[in-house]
Structure 1
Amino acid sequence: MLICSTLHIIDKVVIILTHHYGYLLKVLSGCMKASMDNALASMDLTSAQGHIMGYLAQRSQPPCSRDIEETFHMSHPTVSGLLSRLEKKDFIELRPDETDRRCKRIYVLPKGDELHETMNRVILDNEAQVVAGFSPEERELFTSLLLRAIDNMGASACIRKIKEESDT
């Protein structure tokens, strides 16, 4: 009887844990990342590298690696590793800034430019998969609720910064 009762409690704990928003968002994020990684594997890219290439394609001026650290909330070593691998694959070139030697400017090479359209398709396909079966109203509500949750967590300033950078 004790084993049965313990298993019942464990089942309840698992159900409770799997219905926490953080857990559900983490599962969704992991599924989206895996889907992106799978779609980008043929181009020898990871989802993180793909996101960086998408960010670079939207910039009118070559950003510094520091900009990527701030935009994606990544550490310097992580960004350095990602950029180094993108450079080895001839997607980008890193050059010192002419006025600030501490800043490495990121220039997209022709191979990286060719990637932009493919990346957009992969991202749109991935997002379409997330909301498959949603009505247009549900899609709008889903987006609205996600943005409100992000705002509730105090991330509105971060989103504004990302939007401002993509608008320039």
Structure 2
Amino acid sequence: MCESDIALPHPEELGYYVRRIDGQFAKHRRLELKQYDLTSSQFDVLFWIMKRQQRENLDTIQKDIERYFHISNPSVSGIISRLEQKGFVERVRSDKDRRICHIQPTEKARAMQKTLWKAHRDMEERIRSEYGPGPYEQLMKELNRLLTLLTEIVKEESAC
């Protein structure tokens, strides 16, 4: 454990804890992705492509990524190029329209996905076992309740 990770007296503000928890999840994710030389953005795009292919049996083109993530063509192009250089995706020309390239995950990407998914499950299991079944279920229920409440507040405020 690093000195900066040691709990200090916290202000009694919900936002403080939410930001710290989110920060710790992000730090854990960066550490896991570091071994694959991937950024969070690269992983998000790669994981979405794999999920789309596995669950929905859909091919992915660059425009799909731009729309889903609401990011520009040059940004997506850069992410895909870096994923391709690292051997996680390949661009395959469409048989029907040679102007279109389908972006497909490689075996290297699938192997990495299994490893990262296991690391994610292990972390969740550790948290679950630390809390115990009843308190963990209560935590999840309360987090869902908080998310619903915050979503309603934002919706009300943005309607003004």
TM over 0.5: yes
Alignment length (residue pairs): 138
- Opposite residue 118 of structure 1, the aligned amino acid is T
- Quote how far apart the aligned CAs of 1:75 are: 2.6
CA distances 1:140-166 after superposition (whole Å, capped 9, x unpaired): 2222222233333438xxxxxxxxxxx
Counterpart Cα distance in 2 of 1:127 and 1:68 = 28
Would the aligned equivalents of 1:36 and 1:126 in 2 still touch at CA under 8 Å? no
Matched, 1:63 2:60: yes
Q: Which of 105, 108, 126 does residue 105 from structure 2 map onto?
A: 108
Question: Which blocks of at least 5 consecutive residues in structure 1 are unaligned?
Answer: 1-13, 156-168
Structure-1 residue corresponding to 2:71: 75
Segments of 4+ moved more than 6 angstroms = none
Runs of 5+ consecutive residues of structure 2 not aligned to the other structure? 1-8, 153-160
Distance apart, 1:67 and its partner CA: 4.2
Query: Deviations for 1:1-36, whole angstroms, at most 9, x for unmatched residues?
Result: xxxxxxxxxxxxx954xx433332221111111112
**Is the alpha carbon distance of 1:88 and 1:34 closer, same or farther for their aligned partners in structure 2, counting shifts above 3 Å?**
same
In the superposition, the TM-score normalised over structure 2's length comes to 0.64
Aligned-residue CA RMSD (Å): 3.3
Change (3 A) 1:81 1:57: same
Compute the TM-score of the two structures, normalised by the length of structure 1. Answer: 0.62
User: By how many angstroms is 1:50 displaced?
Assistant: 2.8
Q: Which amino acid aligns with 2:29?
A: M
- Considering Cα pairs closer than 8 Å and 6+ residues apart, tell me whether 1 or 2 has the greater RCO: 1
- Give the SS at the match of 2:130: coil
**d(CA) in 1 for partners of 2:28, 2:77:** 24
